[in-house]
Structure 1
Amino acid sequence: MSHQPGDPADSPVLAAGCVLWRRSPYDGGLEICLVHRPRYDDWSYPKGKLKRGETALEGALREVLEETGHHCTPGPRLPMSRYQVNGRPKEVTYWAAEATGGTFVPNDEVDRLIWLPPTAARNRLTRPRDRDQLDAFLETPAV
């Protein structure tokens, strides 16, 4: 069976997430939140697929809360990530977001969370393409 352009199978999977950040409670230095997803055994930013009728920003904030237990204040939009998943295009829209409080509780989707200085976070990211958002974040005047 061949797909025609415009078929639902050709439309991108839409997702959103945040480069979640805070000031270290120890030394005031910048820290980036990364989550570990056991299903993929990867370290990445909190993100996920949009629900029907949800805007990208609403989805990003919901995913941060679901995956990290933290509320956040969104800041500048960051570069979109585009890649293929199971033969379908996926587009993930990102924002910088400052953590404003919360508590992480491990769950089936995310079993670990770490706060790291930017260089350590860059090195811990599983996928090199995720570094684009961190690099753009570090260039924003928001932090």
Structure 2
Amino acid sequence: MASEPDGSEVQERAAGGVVWRPAGGGVEIVLVHRPRHADWSLPKGKLDDGETWLDAAVREVAEETGLAVEVGEPLGDVTYEVERHGVARTKVVRYWALRATGGAFVPNDEVDELRWMSLDAATEQVSYDLDRDVIDRFRRLGPGILDGVQDS
């Protein structure tokens, strides 16, 4: 198992992304609603055995949103504690900036709603402070993220 810099054992690994598209001279990003957790979050999910972090991010985004993506800048990790069956576990989630290139959302058991939102609206809507931190990392990429991108 991987270890974090503080020496704690990582027991769960997940990956996801800030899925974005050009909109009105800026960008919109995707938030997903998970009915099981009654929350709004960035799309993400656990790594399969033998899967790389990046492959998991692309796969999980496709599974949760139906969207194909182009991989951009890494946005780093977030680490937090989760409880599974009464046992505390350390979870690390690694994120990337992922530009939507096609596809269509179909509601499913895991994600029943998808919303495209401005960065400000998404920052307000998202349920978790750690997701706000990731959105802020994406925001710091700045206008350069749109270099070479034409509005669709």
Q: TM-score, normalised by structure 1?
A: 0.89
User: 1:131 — aligned with what?
Assistant: 132
Shift of 1:29: 3.3
User: 2:113 — aligned with what?
Assistant: 112
Structure 1 residues 83-122: aligned runs within 5 Å: 83-86=80-83, 87-122=88-123
For residues 123 and 12 of structure 2, the distance between their equivalents in structure 1, rounded to whole angstroms, comes to 25
For residues 139 and 34 of structure 1, the distance between their equivalents in structure 2, rounded to whole angstroms, comes to 18
> Is 1:56 matched up with 2:53?
yes
> Is 1:67 matched up with 2:60?
no
User: 1:5 — aligned with what?
Assistant: none
Q: Runs in 1 of length 4+ with deviation above 6 angstroms?
A: none
For residues 50 and 96 of structure 2, the distance between their equivalents in structure 1, rounded to whole angstroms, comes to 19
Counting aligned pairs with the same residue, the percent is 51
- Structure 2, gaps ≥5 residues long: 1-8, 147-152
For residues 21 and 11 of structure 1, the distance between their equivalents in structure 2, rounded to whole angstroms, comes to 29
Alignment RMSD (CA, Å)? 1.4
Shift of 1:11: 3.5
Cα deviation 1:40-63 (Å, max 9, x = unaligned): 011001100000000000000000
- Letter matched to residue 94 of structure 2: T
User: 2:27 — aligned with what?
Assistant: 30
- Structure 1, gaps ≥5 residues long: 1-9
Aligned length: 133
Shift of 1:132: 1.0
User: Is the CA contact (8 Å cut-off) linking 1:17 and 1:64 kept in structure 2?
Assistant: yes
